[in-house]
Amino acid sequence: MRVLGIETSCDETSAAVLGDEGQVLSNVILSQDALHAPFGGVVPELASRRHIETISAVVREALDRAKTELDQVDLLAATQGPGLIGSLLVGLSFAKGLAFYHKKPLIGVDHVEAHIEGALIENPGVPFPAMALVVSGGHTSLYFLEKPLSFELLGRTRDDAAGEALDKIAKFLGLGYPGGPVIERKASGGKAKAFPFSMPRMSDRSLDFSFSGLKTAALKIIRDNKIAKGSRKLADFLASFEQAVVSATLENLGRALAERQARSIILSGGVARNKRLRAEFEKLALAEKLAFAVPSPKLCTDNAAMVASLGLKKFRAFGPNVPAPNLGLNAYPRVSAAAAE
Ligand code: KG4
Ligand code: ZN
């Protein structure tokens, strides 16, 4: 069995091939960071156009690296949403074309659920029930998984995602894009307690997240303390802001663990590359005596291996219900209505 996964939900064009046991034979990721960097964020129209230009070569490269021909592929998996609609349509339509021509089943995969799967690829023995936190540039969502493939959304951001808040502050200070890795680099050696931030609180005690308040507080600190790209206090400020984003993210996880019995915790998404977040997440797991899973950095950010892997599991679970070639699949830009209920 060979699975070809395709991911184009935002600004990475990615294709991956998985073998019988779900082992990753190739995982090609073409980043558009340089294209969007001058704008300090992803420009949706440029992203979808670039996906169109590169998707074919990226899929070819993934097949070549896996020494696999297209007619050896048994299953196609593509990201359906959420994400930028134009970008999603490129990958999904490309996958439909391949499925139609080669008469192969095509399975649609949710991008945020695929991030959770990204953590399971290298940690297949994670015990369930599990609590999963996806922290990226587009999403900050908390899920409870009673068992594998049962994704119950407990909370999500009501405004900015955690990565988006990092990206916006980096853009404001002219530090470059994507902001998360730049902030991590420039925060190193800074004092995380130098600038205190108060934690966001939901008045209704829900497990939703909010990062816009932290962003506003950050802008006020920047103005009041005249913090700029080259200033002496920059490292202290960035370390404090990074810490505030990490604390706000993990606080909800801690609250959710008090409400629901879990045996493990999972962290994924682009911001899960952050060393401060990884360290505090591990500390929480040890304190709560829970198993934990965090992907290696390449599987944290957007990639098609996580899409192919979730596609394979869904196919094995619900396979007979997946029509080949399944051309009726539609892309959706936001967290699916079913998941949000
Ligand atoms: O998962 P991802 O590739 O795309 C989305 O689904 O959004 O995540 C990209 C996000 C960006 O906001 C980027 O700034 C952030 O992940 N990021 C980081 C780090 N590396 C990437 N944030 C903090 N620290 C990092 N080392
Ligand atoms: Zn993502």
> What CATH number does the domain containing 236 carry?
3.30.420.40
In this structure, the answer to whether residues 141 and 89 fall within a common structural domain is no
**How far does the centroid of ligand 2 lie from the alpha carbon of residue 136, in Å?**
6
Residue 246 to residue 280: CA distance in whole angstroms: 8
Identity at 100, one-letter amino acid code: F
Q: How many CB atoms lie within 10 A of CB 116?
A: 25
* Mean predicted confidence (pLDDT) in 325-336: 82
Residue 215 to residue 67: CA distance in whole angstroms: 47
Local structure of 179: helix, strand or coil = helix
Residue 157 to residue 212: CA distance in whole angstroms: 10
Residue 306 to residue 6: CA distance in whole angstroms: 10
* Closest ligand to the CA of 163: 1
Is the pLDDT at 340 greater than 80? The verdict is no
236 located within any domain: yes
What sign does the dihedral 221-195-134-144 (CA atoms) show?
Answer: negative
In this structure, the answer to whether residues 276 and 147 fall within a common structural domain is yes
In this structure, the answer to whether residues 281 and 328 fall within a common structural domain is no
* Top mutation candidate among 110, 113, 273 for ligand 1, by most atoms within 8 Å of CB: 273
**How far does the centroid of ligand 2 lie from the alpha carbon of residue 171, in Å?**
20
In this structure, the answer to whether residues 280 and 312 fall within a common structural domain is no
Please tell me the predicted confidence (pLDDT) of residue 203. Answer: 79
pTM (predicted TM-score): 0.94
Contact yes or no for 179/164 (Cβ under 8 A): no
Cβ-in-10-Å burial (0-12, 13-18, 19+) of 283 comes to exposed
User: pLDDT tier at 334 (50, 70, 90 boundaries)?
Assistant: confident
330 located within any domain: yes
Please tell me the predicted confidence (pLDDT) of residue 336. Answer: 58
| Greatest extent of the chain over all pairs of C-alpha atoms, in Å | 62
281 located within any domain: yes
In this structure, the answer to whether residues 283 and 325 fall within a common structural domain is no
Residue 198 to residue 77: CA distance in whole angstroms: 42
Within 6 Å (CB) of ligand 1, which residues are found? 10, 136-139, 163, 166-167, 178-181, 184, 269-271, 273-274, 301-302
Contact yes or no for 14/28 (Cβ under 8 A): yes
Smallest Cα–Cα separation from 66: which of 316, 308, 324, 296?
A: 308
**How far does the centroid of ligand 1 lie from the alpha carbon of residue 271, in Å?**
4
The 291-293 sheet, strands edge to edge:
152-156, 140-145, 130-135, 264-268, 291-293
Q: pLDDT of 284-304, one tens digit each?
A: 999 999 999 999 999 999 999
Please tell me the predicted confidence (pLDDT) of residue 320. Answer: 67
Residue range of the domain that includes 81: 3-115+300-340
Contact yes or no for 82/139 (Cβ under 8 A): yes
Please tell me the predicted confidence (pLDDT) of residue 318. Answer: 84
Domain tally, the chain: 2
Q: pLDDT of 149-171, one tens digit each?
A: 999 999 999 999 999 999 999 99
Contact yes or no for 256/155 (Cβ under 8 A): yes
CA angle 222, 245, 188 (to 5 degrees): 70
Is the pLDDT at 339 greater than 60? The verdict is no
| CA atoms within a 13 Å half-sphere pointing along the CA-CB vector of 60 | 5
Q: pLDDT of 14-62, one tens digit each?
A: 999 999 899 999 999 999 999 999 998 899 999 999 999 999 999 999 9
222 located within any domain: yes
Residue 107 to residue 5: CA distance in whole angstroms: 9
30 located within any domain: yes
CA angle 227, 221, 182 (to 5 degrees): 55
